[in-house]
Amino acid sequence: MPASPPAPSSPVLQSIARREELLLAPYAFRSADSRGRKHSEPEHPYRGPFQRDRDRIIHSAAFRRLSGKMQVFTGERGDYHRTRLTHTQEVSSLARTIGRALRLNEDLVEALALLHDIGHPPYGHAGEDALDDALGPDEHFSHNRYALTVVEELEQRYPAFPGLNLSDEVLESQRTRIDKVAPDRHPLLEAQLVDAADSMTYDAHDTDDAIKLELLTLDDLCETALVAEALKHVRRRHVIGDPTLLRVAVVHQLIERQVTDVLNRSAEALARADFANAEEARMGEPLIGPGSELAEQKLELERFLYARVYRHPELIAVRSRAQERLHRMFERYQQQPELFPEKYRRRAEKVGVRQMAVDYLAGMTDRFCDDRYREMFPDE
Ligand code: MG
């Protein structure tokens, strides 16, 4: 990176650069340093590049479909629990809170948070495994890679280019979710933060949803140190008889504990490191994340949730049904490519029928997938 970057060219970038100079820490990524977009476009008169990326993501079809995609639980279980969309909003909210306190680039943080799960197929991780199986041993399906396919190829929002034409830093940060191993260069701090916020969000809300849906009790979860400590903390401050209020108070405390820990620890590490710019902050150790005690407690809770919730017999049944549906649809689409919409049939010429079938199935919401399945196999 040059010692003094060239002055931003357009008035909007100049005004954003002045604002960022006042608000951001030296290690935050500066909008004026963006490498730009694959297809060059004029600057927007009043939005910076990452504000524009955020808006492009929010206005995409794939983002809206997140409301119809399950996080852990399907829609048959009522409407209390998180969908992929509300999970994404919770991640964005936590990440922005911490990002602002650490004086990171909040616009970039928000764009990355809203993008991070856009590639999830229907039926959560069961759907991902089914599509991975369908592709056979030599090819793999990854929701993180599919997110790039969505925003670089499948979304059709602009006449001049395919995809959303997002800034290079947003695409690169999403790419680091696929290939995490980069020995000497880590994701931008803004991307590290979204990863940490994702983890604290699902640890808290899966605990909440699992108790609310009666897959286990708060007492069961007190086998884990993180939940037991949160309950102790709540009980020291309040006398709560109502189990709903108690559950909610514990979940709030789970979020508070994690956010405070990540914020304090990261702030200390960044102060010690004293980076001069965002590029320097990518070398050395990744700095945004929980301290070792919290990291261990989170791991214990995640193992517990895996064994007792994600592998709960009721969820296993949903999982097998979802996988069987996707498998059968994948076979049928290959035998009868005429069943695909025109846009996808054209895509088959480029990527082949198998890949196209996976791309099409991965974009479906849970309900759309259920409806297509019933149309294809009406006698079941
Ligand atoms: Mg997520």
Residue with more model confidence, 12 or 4: 12
DSSP code of 138? Answer: T
pTM of the predicted structure, to 2 decimals: 0.94
Whether the pLDDT of residue 371 is over 50: the answer is yes
Residue with more model confidence, 284 or 146: 146
The answer to whether residue 1 sits within a structural domain is no
Whether the pLDDT of residue 379 is over 90: the answer is no
pLDDT of residue 6: 55
Whether the pLDDT of residue 183 is over 80: the answer is no
Å from CA of 70 to ligand 1 middle: 11
Å from CA of 22 to ligand 1 middle: 31
> How many alpha carbons lie under 13 Å from residue 324 in its C-beta half-sphere?
9
The answer to whether residue 25 sits within a structural domain is yes
Å from CA of 116 to ligand 1 middle: 6
Give 279's pLDDT tier (boundaries 50, 70, 90).
very high
Could you read off the pLDDT of 281-323 as tens digits, one per residue? 998 788 999 999 999 999 999 999 999 988 888 888 888 988 9
Å from CA of 319 to ligand 1 middle: 19
Å from CA of 351 to ligand 1 middle: 28
The answer to whether residue 7 sits within a structural domain is no
pLDDT of residue 343: 84
The answer to whether residue 4 sits within a structural domain is no
Question: Which pair of tokens denotes residue 98?
Answer: 């911490």
Find the helix packing angle between 292-305 and 243-273, rounded to 10°. Answer: 140
Å from CA of 362 to ligand 1 middle: 16
pLDDT of residue 1: 44
Whether the pLDDT of residue 344 is over 80: the answer is yes
Whether the pLDDT of residue 354 is over 50: the answer is yes
Whether the pLDDT of residue 263 is over 90: the answer is yes
Whether the pLDDT of residue 3 is over 70: the answer is no
Å from CA of 198 to ligand 1 middle: 5
Residue with tokens 């003094």: 4
How many other β-carbons are positioned within 10 Å of the β-carbon of residue 76? 8
Distance CA 314, CA 318 (A): 7
Question: Which pair of tokens denotes residue 74?
Answer: 């399907």
Å from CA of 201 to ligand 1 middle: 8
The answer to whether residue 139 sits within a structural domain is yes
Whether the pLDDT of residue 82 is over 80: the answer is yes
Distance CA 103, CA 26 (A): 9
Protein residues with C-beta less than 5 angstroms from the ion ligand 1: 117, 198
Sign, Cα dihedral of 217, 219, 222, 223 = negative
Whether the pLDDT of residue 180 is over 70: the answer is no
The answer to whether residue 359 sits within a structural domain is yes
Per the structure, the complete domain to which residue 24 belongs is given by: 16-38+46-376
Give 349's pLDDT tier (boundaries 50, 70, 90).
confident
Å from CA of 154 to ligand 1 middle: 21
Å from CA of 96 to ligand 1 middle: 15
Å from CA of 87 to ligand 1 middle: 7
Structurally, how many domains does the chain consist of? 1
Å from CA of 283 to ligand 1 middle: 25
Give 81's pLDDT tier (boundaries 50, 70, 90).
confident
CATH number, domain at 100? Answer: 1.10.3210.10
CB–CB of 20/30 below 8 Å? yes
In the 3-class helix/strand/coil scheme, how is 198-248 assigned residue by residue?
Answer: HHHHHHHHHHHHHHHCCCCCHHHHCCCHHHHHHHHHHHHHCCCCCHHHHHH
pLDDT of residue 203: 95
pLDDT of residue 220: 97
Give 364's pLDDT tier (boundaries 50, 70, 90).
very high
Whether the pLDDT of residue 217 is over 80: the answer is yes
CB–CB of 363/66 below 8 Å? no
Give 230's pLDDT tier (boundaries 50, 70, 90).
very high
Whether the pLDDT of residue 8 is over 80: the answer is no
The answer to whether residue 178 sits within a structural domain is yes
Å from CA of 95 to ligand 1 middle: 12
Segment of 53-67, 178-192, 322-336 carrying the highest mean pLDDT:
53-67
Whether the pLDDT of residue 5 is over 90: the answer is no
Å from CA of 45 to ligand 1 middle: 32
Å from CA of 169 to ligand 1 middle: 19
Could you read off the pLDDT of 185-206 as tens digits, one per residue? 899 999 999 999 999 999 999 9
Distance CA 303, CA 36 (A): 41
The answer to whether residue 289 sits within a structural domain is yes
Å from CA of 117 to ligand 1 middle: 5
Å from CA of 33 to ligand 1 middle: 27
Å from CA of 13 to ligand 1 middle: 31
Whether the pLDDT of residue 2 is over 60: the answer is no
Question: Which pair of tokens denotes residue 307?
Answer: 């064994």
